[in-house]
Amino acid sequence: PARGVTASAAEWTTVNSFKELQDAVKGKKEYIKLGQDIDTTSYNEGIGLLKRDELTFNDTSYSCTLDLNGKTLALVSNDTNISQGIHIGGSHLTIKDISSAKTGKISGAFSNVFGGQDAKLIRLDGGKLTLEGGTFTVTSHPYKTNAIVIDSVQGFVTIKNGVKISQPEFNELGS
């Protein structure tokens, strides 16, 4: 039978920790749903995310839908070698929030990014990114203007109605 646009409940992998989310992405699960808020602030003994912890979607045959489910995914790092939380290099990632409250969010907070690189919440190096709901924010310290929500080198980005994107204004230079 033809498969519908919406996955059945049995097809969704619910994740309740960053490790479970990483495992689902590495295992190329097609439908991933946040079961609770996930905050990486205390990950790696308080450093937050390391370069090896980036959520990476690099397989051109991999298509994934991430449902924020009204929850928050906070990608936080104090490591100088990580400049992005999510990397798409050929896959198709769809991020949505099907919760009734529509409070799903992905936030990024990166400190002391090495070599003055921009802090990127999502980096697209090929493939496709579709945002169908949710709020997306990123901050960078100490350089506030070095924060970018979506950095697309190549690939396709589709942003649908109901998506909110927030990043520092460039007029904060020097503040």
Closest CA to 75 of 111, 49, 46: 49
Q: Mean per-residue pLDDT for 9-24?
A: 94
Residue 172 has what pLDDT? 43
Residue 6 has what pLDDT? 63
> The tokens 């100490």 sit on which residue?
142
Q: Mean per-residue pLDDT for 135-149?
A: 86
pTM: 0.89
Distance CA 109, CA 43 (A): 13
Q: With bands split at pLDDT 50, 70 and 90, how would you rate the model's confidence at 114?
A: low
pLDDT at 174 over 70: no
Token pair listed for 35: 């079961």
Q: Is 31 exposed, middle or buried (0-12, 13-18, 19+ CB in 10 A)?
A: buried
| Residue 69 or 142, more confident | 69
